[in-house]
């Protein structure tokens, strides 16, 4: 549809201009970076009440997702290789297809029902439920899904900022020898501190001898062992 292509082109231009001001290491916090996402969403979702169903066509969906993914990468300060499902989850941003359908449902219900505020709350809960189901079956970002198993608590948290370093842990794309080896940036994928072990995110944070003292100190403070399954719940 022309409307989708036009909206995606405008949003893409806005993202490109704003992204220049937001490097991964310096710049505003993630909460402030979401201003970028709000600008893009205003453009992307303009008139979604009319054309939301067109996103059932894969090429239109892909065009929208590609723009939204770039925004989410700026929020999370992620590597460019992180998949769309993973970076959206880390950034705490619902997929654009679900947001478009949410707008259409709200518009249709508000034509016949009076309490639009309640309708918006109910439809947002429906969007989060659909996002959760989609997150479970998505093929991308499975390490992230193992950490952030439920998107609603992470999405609704009122504390904590993601940044360049935390995002590397949450996505497994970062300064790990195994990742850099796959990108032809390192000659070996083995850990510099643990002989014979692959230096991936799980080894670095949960097993590596170099950081064992830090991990033990945190576990003593929390009173329980830290594992990939409980790390995010402890953070929350």
> What are the tens digits of pLDDT across the range 139-198?
999 999 999 999 999 999 989 999 999 999 999 999 999 999 999 999 999 999 999 999
What is the mean predicted confidence (pLDDT) over 17-43?
A: 78
Assess whether pLDDT exceeds 90 at residue 9: no
Which residue in 208, 139, 143, 135 sits closest to 171, CA to CA? 143
pLDDT at 19 (0 to 100): 63
Question: pTM here?
Answer: 0.91
More confident residue, 17 or 169: 169
Assess whether pLDDT exceeds 80 at residue 8: no
What is the mean predicted confidence (pLDDT) over 94-107?
A: 96
More confident residue, 170 or 36: 170
Chain length of the chain? 236
What is the mean predicted confidence (pLDDT) over 82-103?
A: 96
Which residue in 121, 147, 137, 128 sits closest to 201, CA to CA? 147
Which sequence spans correspond to the domains of the chain? 2-141, 175-235
């Amino acid at each position: 549809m022309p409307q989708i292509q036009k909206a995606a082109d405008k949003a893409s231009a806005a993202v490109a201009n704003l992204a220049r001001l937001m490097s991964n290491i310096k710049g505003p916090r993630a909460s402030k970076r979401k201003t970028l996402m709000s600008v893009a969403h205003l453009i992307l979702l303009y008139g979604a009440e009319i054309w939301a169903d067109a996103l059932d066509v894969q090429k239109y969906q892909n065009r929208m997702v590609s723009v939204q993914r770039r925004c989410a990468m700026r929020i999370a300060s992620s590597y460019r290789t992180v998949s769309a499902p993973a970076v959206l989850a880390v950034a705490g941003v619902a997929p654009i297809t679900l947001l478009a359908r949410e707008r259409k449902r709200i518009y249709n219900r508000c034509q016949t029902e009076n309490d639009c505020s309640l309708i918006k709350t109910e439809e947002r809960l429906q969007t989060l439920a659909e996002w959760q189901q989609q997150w479970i079956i998505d093929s991308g970002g499975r390490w992230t899904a193992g950490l952030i198993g439920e998107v609603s608590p992470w999405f609704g948290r009122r504390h904590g900022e993601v940044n360049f370093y935390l995002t590397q842990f949450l996505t497994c794309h970062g300064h790990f020898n195994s990742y850099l080896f796959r990108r032809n940036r390192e000659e070996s994928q083995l850990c510099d501190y643990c002989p014979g072990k692959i230096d991936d995110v799980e080894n670095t944070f949960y097993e590596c001898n170099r950081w064992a003292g830090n991990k033990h100190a945190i576990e003593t403070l929390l009173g329980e062992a830290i594992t990939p399954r409980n790390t995010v719940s402890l953070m929350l």
